[in-house]
C-alpha cells in the first residue's frame, strides 16, 4: 500500500506520453483502449455541459453557473472509480461528478435557474446536494463515513473541496475526526490555484498535501489534469478506506481555466500568461494525444464523441428552458418536518399578498395569476443571484 507520497505523481504527460510508475501503474492496469476512449468521451461531454450552461446563463436562462473548465480529469477520473454504494459530498463546482453519479441533467441546473432549493434526492444517487458553505461538506462526509463504520459496511464517503476550503475550520475539524476514528473517507482536494481572486500561494506556504500527515492522514500530491494519476490515487485511497485503514488526503493539482462563476471576471486579478501556461496542460488534450498515438483518434471516433456531446447539450438546454415555474407557495414546503408557527404566519401573509392581486383586478385574474407566479420564480432566482450573483 502506498503511504504518504511527497513527489508529484504523473502517469500521462501533457504531451500525451505514458510515463511508467512502479507504485501507481498497477492501479490503472485495467484501463484499456476502449476504457480510455470512454473516459475521453466523458471529459468532452462534461466540458460541453459546462459550455452550454455558461451560454444559458449569458442568455438569462440561469441566474449563475460555476464553470469547471480545466478540472475535467480530476472530477471524471475520481468519480468513475467509485461504487454505487459509496457516497459523495461536494461543493458547487463538481458538476462532472454529478454527471458520473447519474444526476438527471435538468436536476443539475434546477437550483441555478432559481427553480428549486435543491436539485435531487441524495439517496437516489449517493450524492448529497452541493454545499455552498465552503468546506462544510468535509464534516458531512466524515460523519457519513463514521456511520458506515458503525453499520459495518465497506462503503466509502468522498469529500470534494477546493484549495481555499483547506483554510476553513470545518476542513481541519473533519481531518481531526477522520484520523481519530480511522473513518473510511477520502478527502479529494482540487487545488485549482484560486479561491475566487485569492491565489493558493497566499494561504499555503507549503503544498496542501503536506498538511494532512500532521493530522495523521496519509496524503498524495498528484497531477489533477492527468486522468490516469487521478484514477490510481483515488483507487489507492478507496482501497485503504474499505479495508479499515482510514482516511486519505489527495491534492489534485489542477487549474480553474474559467471564471470563479459567471459573475466573476478573472482578467481583473490574474495574468493572461498563467492561463496560457495551463492551456498547454489541458486534461483533455493529453488523452487525445495518447489516443492518437494508439491510432484510436479516428474521424469516426471524433464524430461519435461530438454527436454524444451535442445530444447531451441539447437535452440540458431543453430541460432548462421547459422547467415549469414553481408554485409560489411551494417555497414554504420541506423547510421543517414539524409544524412551525413562524413559518405558518409567513405563509399566511404571503398567501394574502398573492390574493391581493386578484382582489384588485378580478377581471384579469388569469393574467394576474401568471404575474404572481413569475414574481415567485423571480423571488427564488434572487436567492441564487443575491449579491450580484455571487457565491
Ligand atoms: C464559509 C464560506 N465563506 C466564504 C464563502 C464565499 N466563497 C464562495 S466560493 C469561495 C472560494 C472557494 O475557493 P476554493 O475552496 O478554492 O474552491 P473553488 O471555488 O476554487 O472551486 C468563497 C470564499 C462561502 N461560500 N462560504
Ligand atoms: Mg480553488
Residue 387 has pLDDT above 70, yes or no: no
Q: What CA–CA distance (Å, rounded) separates 256 from 267?
A: 13
Q: What CA–CA distance (Å, rounded) separates 303 from 292?
A: 14
Q: Which residues line ligand 1 (CB under 6 A)?
A: 93, 132-134, 161-165, 192, 194-196, 256, 260, 391
Average per-residue pLDDT for the chain? 92
The pLDDT tens digits for 233-270 are 999 999 999 999 999 999 999 999 999 999 999 999 99
The pLDDT tens digits for 1-52 are 556 776 899 999 999 999 999 999 999 999 999 999 999 999 999 999 999 9
Q: What CA–CA distance (Å, rounded) separates 356 from 365?
A: 11
**Ligand 1 closest atom vs CA 170:** 1
- Ligand closest to Cα of 165 equals 1
Domains in the chain (CATH in brackets) are 5-321 (3.40.50.970), 328-385 (no CATH)
Distance of CA 293 to the CA centre of its chain: 31
**Ligand 1 closest atom vs CA 166:** 15
Q: What CA–CA distance (Å, rounded) separates 330 from 134?
A: 27
Polymer length in residues for the chain: 391
**Count of CB atoms situated within 10 Å of the CB of 211:** 20
Ligand 1 centre from 118 Cα, in Å? Answer: 19
pLDDT tier, 206 (very low <50, low <70, confident <90, very high otherwise)? very high
Residue whose C-alpha is closest to residue 208's, from 255, 164, 251, 161: 251
Ligand 1, atom 3: closest residue by C-alpha: 134
The pLDDT tens digits for 111-124 are 999 998 888 999 99
Q: What CA–CA distance (Å, rounded) separates 120 from 104?
A: 8
The one-character DSSP state at 127 is B
Which residues are identified as catalytic?
256, 260, 269
Residue 286 has pLDDT above 70, yes or no: yes
Q: What CA–CA distance (Å, rounded) separates 89 from 71?
A: 17
Ligand 1 centre from 245 Cα, in Å? Answer: 30
- Ligand closest to Cα of 197 equals 1
Report pLDDT for 363.
58
Amino acid at each position: 500500500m502506498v503511504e504518504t507520497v511527497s513527489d508529484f505523481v504523473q502517469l500521462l504527460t501533457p504531451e500525451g506520453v505514458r510515463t511508467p510508475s512502479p507504485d501507481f501503474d498497477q492501479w490503472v492496469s485495467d484501463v484499456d483502449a476502449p476504457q480510455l476512449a470512454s473516459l475521453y468521451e466523458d471529459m468532452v461531454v462534461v466540458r460541453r455541459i459546462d459550455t452550454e450552461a455558461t451560454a444559458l446563463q449569458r442568455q438569462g436562462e440561469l441566474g449563475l453557473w460555476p464553470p469547471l473548465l480545466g478540472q475535467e480529469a480530476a472530477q471524471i477520473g475520481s468519480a468513475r472509480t467509485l461504487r454505487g454504494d459509496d457516497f459523495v459530498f461536494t461543493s458547487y463546482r463538481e458538476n462532472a461528478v454529478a454527471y458520473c453519479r447519474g444526476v438527471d441533467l435538468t436536476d443539475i441546473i434546477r437550483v441555478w435557474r432559481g427553480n428549486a432549493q435543491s436539485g435531487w434526492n441524495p439517496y437516489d444517487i449517493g450524492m448529497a446536494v452541493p454545499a455552498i458553505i465552503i468546506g462544510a461538506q468535509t464534516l458531512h462526509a466524515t460523519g457519513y463515513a463514521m456511520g458506515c463504520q458503525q453499520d459495518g459496511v465497506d462503503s466509502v464517503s468522498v469529500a470534494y473541496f477546493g484549495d481555499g476550503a483547506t483554510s476553513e475550520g470545518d476542513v481541519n475539524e473533519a481531518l481531526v475526526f477522520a484520523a481519530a476514528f480511522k473513518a473510511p473517507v477520502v478527502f479529494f482536494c482540487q487545488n485549482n490555484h484560486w479561491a475566487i481572486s485569492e491565489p493558493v500561494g497566499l494561504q499555503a506556504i507549503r503544498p496542501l498535501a503536506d498538511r494532512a500527515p500532521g493530522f495523521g492522514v496519509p496524503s498524495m500530491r498528484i497531477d489533477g489534469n492527468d486522468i490516469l494519476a487521478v484514477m490510481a490515487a483515488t483507487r489507492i485511497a478507496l482501497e485503504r478506506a474499505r479495508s479499515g485503514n482510514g482516511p486519505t488526503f489527495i491534492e489534485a493539482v489542477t487549474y480553474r481555466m474559467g471564471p470563479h462563476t459567471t459573475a466573476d471576471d478573472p482578467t481583473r486579478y490574474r495574468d493572461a500568461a498563467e492561463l496560457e501556461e495551463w492551456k498547454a496542460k489541458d486534461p483533455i488534450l493529453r488523452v487525445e494525444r495518447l489516443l492518437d498515438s494508439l491510432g484510436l483518434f479516428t474521424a469516426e471516433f471524433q464524430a461519435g464523441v461530438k454527436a454524444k456531446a451535442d445530444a447531451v447539450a441539447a437535452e440540458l438546454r431543453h430541460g432548462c428552458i421547459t422547467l415549469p415555474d414553481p408554485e409560489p407557495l411551494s417555497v414554504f414546503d420541506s423547510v421543517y418536518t414539524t409544524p412551525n408557527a413562524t413559518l405558518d404566519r409567513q405563509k399566511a401573509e404571503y398567501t394574502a399578498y398573492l390574493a391581493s392581486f386578484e382582489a384588485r383586478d378580478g377581471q384579469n385574474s388569469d393574467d394576474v395569476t401568471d404575474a404572481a407566479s413569475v414574481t415567485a420564480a423571480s423571488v427564488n432566482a434572487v436567492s441564487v443571484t443575491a449579491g450580484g450573483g455571487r457565491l
